[in-house]
Structure formats: C-alpha cells, structure tokens
Amino acid sequence: MTATRQVQPKLIIHGGAGSSLKSKEDVAGVRQELHQIVQQVYELLLAGESATVAVVQGCKLLEDNPRFNAGTGSVLQSDGQIRMSASLMDGERQRFSGVINVSGVKNPIELAYFLQKEEDRVLSDYGSAQLARELQLPLYDPLTDLRLQEWLEERKNNFAKKMAAVIAERPSGQDNARRGTIGVVALDKQGRISAGTSTGGKGLERIGRVSDSAMPAGNYANAFAGVSCTGIGEDIIDECLAAKVVIRVTDGLSLFEAMEKSMKEAKQNGRDLGAIAIDYRGSIVFGKTSEVLLAAYHDGTKIGDSLQWPEGKLVSGV
C-alpha cells in the first residue's frame, strides 16, 4: 500500500501493565501524565510530522518520566545494574531497528531511531555502547531513588519477588509486583503507521536476559497495523503477540477481532500482558490479560484512557 491519502491522525501510548495502582493519587497522577504526553505528541501529528517522528518523541517523553520503567526510572536487574532495550518499527517501510540491554544513555529509543537508516539494525549491549560513543551521546545515569529503594528492599528479601513494579510508587507494604514498559503507536496524516517500545526490563532479572521490547514479538508494524506490547516479556515472546495481531489484520481481520482473538489465546495460555494498536483505517484498540493497562489515546476528537476498563476495548474505529 502506498500512503498518499490524507487521514485523521490517531495515537495511542502506554506506560506498562500489571496489577492495579495502589491509590487514587497514583491513578490520577498517571492519568494526568499520560494525557499530557498524548496531547504533546498528537500536536506533532496534526502539524504534519511523520508517525515515526511522533513515535520517537512520544517514547522519549515516556522514557524521561521517572514513573515509568524505561529510560529514567528504569528498574534494576539482579546485579543492581540498569540495562535498557528499545525498538522502533516504521510500518510503511516495514523496517525494524533496536537496541538490547544498553546502559548509560538517556533515551534508548534515539539509538533505535538512528539505526533505522543503517544496514545493521539491531544491536546488543556491546554494540549499543559503541554506537552511543560514536554518536557522542553524553553518559547518563537513569537511576532514580525510588527504583534503588525498591531494589534494596528486594535484596533484603533475597529477591523473592519475580519482578519489579510497573511504575515507581511509594512502598506501601502491599504486593506491587508489576510489569513495566512504555510504548507508542501512531497513524499520521499520510496514513503511515509506526510503533515504538522501550523498557528497563522485568527488573531483578538474570544478567543477559533479553526483553520482548526489542523483538517483533513486542513491537511490530506494517502498512496495515502497528502494535506495542507490555507485560512479562517471556509471555509476549511465547505468543509472538505484536507480529501476530499485525499479521491477522494484514490477512483480513478487523483490528478489534485480531486483538480479541490474540488476547483470548493469551488468556487461555495463562499469560500476563497487554498491547496497544492502531490500523490503517484509524481504529484504535487495546487488549490485556493483566489487571490494568496504563494506556491513553487521541482519536482525533478527544483524549481517553484505559485506566478504568476491566477488559480490552475498541476505542474507536471498526
């Protein structure tokens, strides 16, 4: 498909999935921050920016927000280090790029963006560090006090928890095991779709573990649809979720049908995950098997979010 038509831009972003937020203040705070980012990125799309530029900017804003588990505010791995992964897929060119387990940079999505035009487009830890040096990116420490505090608490409990928290919250004693990632999917005025995903990983994981976020299982787009996933990376990889939803749309299912079918399968398989998606017709959909998905969208007329929906939903479209 060639993208020559003029369409109403659409946008959906997420800040992770997992069990419910602890307090009303957390819900209100997350909602306000997600809505602000949606507003800022949607203005770029209205101004005629490409879906790819909008997705990169949206990911950067989410990476820079210390609440979310990507960029600043990333969780610590089992050895107390932060290693981040990010990927970008330009749906029109059906081109994937990404970095896996990079350290010491502010915005991993910027590296994924740079790699879009390269021949070698997915780099692991050593190569990503080399690239950051080549690009003369300043050394940056994404560690926040809250994430350090969470890790220290976990160390006291001998790392009994499977994962770190989806967003950085004040400890309350309640079990707050959650799964964090950020993601953005956009449809621009020319009908082009892009998807981007960035993460600090599960938290507390084994050194060298690879996240779904820099794989087509966790982030995928073509001319028909784009999807960004969040949740337990291994569950997303086993479902090959993002690519599966996109291919189902390519083969004729509506975006809602594709998401619903894929989530039904994921639920049957006992997975813990969520996904956001947009298709070429402008439909916006989210789906989840986890308790909560922190997603917000702009459908051309209004901003909304997924914070109060018990199930996945067709936000707008067909």
Residues that bind ligand GLY (CB under 6 A): 181, 199, 201-202, 211-213, 230-233, 236
Query: Which one, 58 or 201, has the nearer CB to ligand GLY?
Result: 201
The alpha helices in 76-204, defined as continuous H runs, are 108-115, 125-134, 145-156
Tell me which residue has tokens 């992770």.
Answer: 16
Pick from 183, 153, 158, 159: which is nearest to 171 by CA?
153
d(CA 55, CA 162): 30
Strands 122-123 and 95-102 come out as parallel
d(CA 30, CA 68): 9
Give the shortest CB-269-to-ligand GLY separation in angstroms: 16
Of the residues 52, 72, 144, 181, only one is catalytic, namely 181
Pick from 307, 283, 7, 19: which is nearest to 163 by CA?
19
Give the shortest CB-283-to-ligand GLY separation in angstroms: 24
Query: Which one, 33 or 272, has the nearer CB to ligand GLY?
Result: 272
Is position 181 annotated as part of the catalytic site? yes
Pick from 142, 239, 192: which is nearest to 10 by CA?
192
Q: Which two three-digit tokens encode residue 169?
A: 């919250």
Query: Which one, 15 or 231, has the nearer CB to ligand GLY?
Result: 231
Report the residue number whose CB is nearest to ligand GLY: 233
Pick from 205, 192, 208, 193: which is nearest to 242 by CA?
193
Give the shortest CB-187-to-ligand GLY separation in angstroms: 23
Give the shortest CB-212-to-ligand GLY separation in angstroms: 5
Query: Which one, 124 or 250, has the nearer CB to ligand GLY?
Result: 124
Query: Which one, 202 or 288, has the nearer CB to ligand GLY?
Result: 202
Give the shortest CB-308-to-ligand GLY separation in angstroms: 23
Residues noted as catalytic: 181
